[in-house]
């Protein structure tokens, strides 16, 4: 899990990122990002019940994506507020290499890395 400083607290800021953020689409998820007003990047992962019916699956997807960002957070070019919108339940069972490559490609397309 990411430290509390790198996660969104409360629900005020997530709608603002979704409204104003730049959209980067990928297979199974999309990124919305805006430059952060603070000195640290913050990340939120949204997995709806419509996407994955079971809480175990939703949490597994969140843990896997947070793990990726924990690994690359120090390499960010600047501080960003990022919301990951998960659209496909298969991210829970996808092999780590495939998920890692998709997330890395999306971050590079967004010029975060």
28 backbone φψ class: left, alpha, beta (φ>0; ψ -120 to 50): left
| pLDDT score recorded for residue 75 | 92
The average pLDDT across 76-83 equals 94
| pLDDT score recorded for residue 34 | 95
Q: pLDDT tens for residues 87-105? A: 999 999 999 999 999 999 9
- pLDDT reading at 47 higher than 90: yes
User: Over 71-106, what HEC string results?
Assistant: HHHHHCCCCEEEEEEECCHHHHCCCHHHHHHHHHHH
The distance of Cα 74 from the centroid of its chain, to the nearest Å, equals 15
Please name each of the domains of the chain with its CATH number: 4-109 (3.30.230.10)
| pLDDT score recorded for residue 97 | 97
């Amino acid at each position: 899990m990411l430290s509390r400083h790198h996660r969104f607290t409360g629900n005020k800021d997530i709608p603002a990122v979704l409204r104003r953020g730049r959209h980067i689409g990928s297979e199974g998820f999309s990124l919305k990002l805006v430059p952060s007003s603070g000195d640290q990047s913050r990340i939120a992962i949204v997995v709806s019940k419509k996407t994955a019916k079971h809480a175990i699956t939703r949490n597994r997807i969140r843990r896997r994506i947070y793990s990726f960002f924990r690994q690359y957070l120090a390499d960010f070019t600047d501080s960003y507020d990022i919301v990951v919108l998960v659209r496909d339940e298969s991210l829970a069972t996808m092999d780590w290499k495939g998920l890692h490559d998709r997330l890395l490609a999306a971050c590079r397309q967004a010029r975060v890395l």
